[in-house]
Amino acid sequence: MNVPQFDDVVHDIYGVALSAELWPQTLDAVAALSGSKGAILYVKTPDGWTFPVHSPSVTPALEAYVEEGWESRNPWLQNRLEAGFRIGDVYRDFDVVTREEMDTNPFYTEFLRRFGLGRQMVAIIYSELGNPTCFVVHREMAKGPFGTDEMQTHLRIARHLEQSLRINTHLGQLSSENASLSEVFNTMKRPAFIVDGDLNLKKANKKASEVLGRFFVNGEGKLAPAASHETETLHSAVRRAHDFAGQEEGDPRPITLSSKDGDERIVVWSAPLVGHSADGLGLDAPGRHVLLLAQPLSDQQRIDPTVIRSVYALTTGEARLASVLAAGRTVKEAAIELGLAESTARLVLNRIFKKMGVHRQPDLVARILELGR
């Protein structure tokens, strides 16, 4: 097996953001980074677990998983994932099951082994597809447990996948047989801009007019923040997306910008447009382009967990809990919504307190809500 390079896989992830039919092959390349056989996106919705996309190599296993009812016998789904909050956003088998269970549990001995699988590594990401959204890779038992470096690489790849899914959710899924991606881009429900690495404005959709003048200005064909002191913040975000190299500094994260009057803030996600994605939007080579997807925080019913995660250096699970609490939920209500035991939610809340330097829930909520002002 030829192991792909990290940069090449990241390029592919963004290149297929708007081409659903190409996602399965890209997940095979992602899996190969860790010597895995395949990858699956698991999403929990109100109607149960779904599998929006997976590698072709694990199709037989996934079909058997559904048809034979292995979900009810999967130890990963028996309220054990709560342990993952303690190690971050990525886990391997030994974070969920014991070595003895891997040798005796039917899920491992009868199901996974039948398909030449045995080891699993899971990254929890944020997506609007459902909660939680789990990005899983599977490999042979004989290859041994996933190492720390492999877990870190998987988490970083998952962050790029999360960003690509955001584009797909807000742009790709709106497309129809009678509309080009350029037409769909123009009618998106969120303000969006396409710029090059020097912030030359190439495209702006209809919604963008609502934030031009308030949060952004278009000066001589270049996009800039309305608050001039935040120019470098926007430039840095675009450079990270434009030059997405295999450096941690290039990993995606949102930024927030102030309004012209300084009384509101807007969150901006940036992602490279390359390959099929760029072609679908009619972007000509050789320049690499960046999509800026924006939303005033005051328009959100609750602060996006990816913003909270980025600003306060929380895990995805911690940020998700903080977001729900900031929306006015009690700890008990938040635990129910997130599928956690109340005791687990309180343990996670204590870790959030320590990371954010607060001691009471009202103080936490106030800090989160400050992001929108």
How many domains in the chain?
3
- The answer to whether residues 57 and 203 belong to one domain is no
Q: At what angle do helices 331-338 and 342-356 cross, to 10 degrees?
A: 110
Task: Give the CATH number of the domain where residue 160 resides.
Answer: 3.30.450.80
- The answer to whether residues 161 and 80 belong to one domain is yes
Domain termination residue (choose one: 170, 195, 227): 170
Domain containing 98 equals 6-170
Quick check: is 1 in a domain?
A: no
Domain termination residue (choose one: 170, 187, 218): 170
- The answer to whether residues 56 and 77 belong to one domain is yes
CA 87 to chain centre: 18
- The answer to whether residues 221 and 248 belong to one domain is yes
Dihedral over Cα of 165, 170, 174, 179: its sign: negative
In angstroms and rounded to an integer, the radius of gyration of the C-alpha atoms of the chain is 21
Task: Give the CATH number of the domain where residue 212 resides.
Answer: 3.30.450.20
- The answer to whether residues 316 and 291 belong to one domain is no
Residue 63 CB contacts under 8 Å (≥ 6 apart), including other chains: none
CA distances from 332 to 131, 337, 340 (A): 17, 9, 9
CA 20 to chain centre: 17
Please confirm whether the linkage preceding 52 is cis (ω < 30° from 0). Answer: no
- The answer to whether residues 184 and 153 belong to one domain is no
User: Is there a contact between 95 and 102 (Cβ–Cβ < 8 Å)?
Assistant: no
Q: In residues, how long is the chain?
A: 373
Domain termination residue (choose one: 142, 170, 198): 170
Q: Which two tokens stand for residue 233?
A: 């913040």
- The answer to whether residues 295 and 313 belong to one domain is no
CA distances from 17 to 100, 279, 280 (A): 40, 12, 10
Please confirm whether the linkage preceding 4 is cis (ω < 30° from 0). Answer: no
CA distances from 1 to 29, 36, 140, 220 (A): 10, 10, 14, 50
- The answer to whether residues 164 and 216 belong to one domain is no
- The answer to whether residues 219 and 135 belong to one domain is no
Report the side by side order of strands in the sheet with 201-204: 201-204, 192-196, 289-296, 265-273, 255-258
User: Is there a contact between 198 and 192 (Cβ–Cβ < 8 Å)?
Assistant: no
Quick check: is 232 in a domain?
A: yes
- The answer to whether residues 26 and 90 belong to one domain is yes
Quick check: is 367 in a domain?
A: yes
- Distance between CA atoms of residues 224 and 349, nearest Å: 37
Q: Give, for all 373 residues of the chain, the pLDDT tens digit.
A: 455 788 889 888 998 888 778 889 899 999 999 999 999 999 988 888 999 999 999 999 999 999 999 999 999 888 765 544 566 789 999 888 999 999 999 999 999 999 999 999 999 998 888 888 999 999 999 999 999 999 999 999 999 999 988 887 766 554 555 567 788 888 888 899 999 989 999 999 999 999 999 999 998 899 999 999 999 999 999 988 887 654 556 678 899 999 999 888 999 999 998 888 888 888 876 567 999 999 888 766 688 899 999 899 999 989 999 999 998 899 999 998 888 889 889 999 999 999 999 999 999 999 998 876 6
Per residue in 158-188, is it b (16+ CB within 10 Å) or e — as a string? Answer: bbbbbbbbbbbebbbebbeeeeebeebbbeb
CA 52 to chain centre: 14
- The answer to whether residues 140 and 252 belong to one domain is no
Residue 132 CB contacts under 8 Å (≥ 6 apart), including other chains: 43, 44, 81, 124, 339
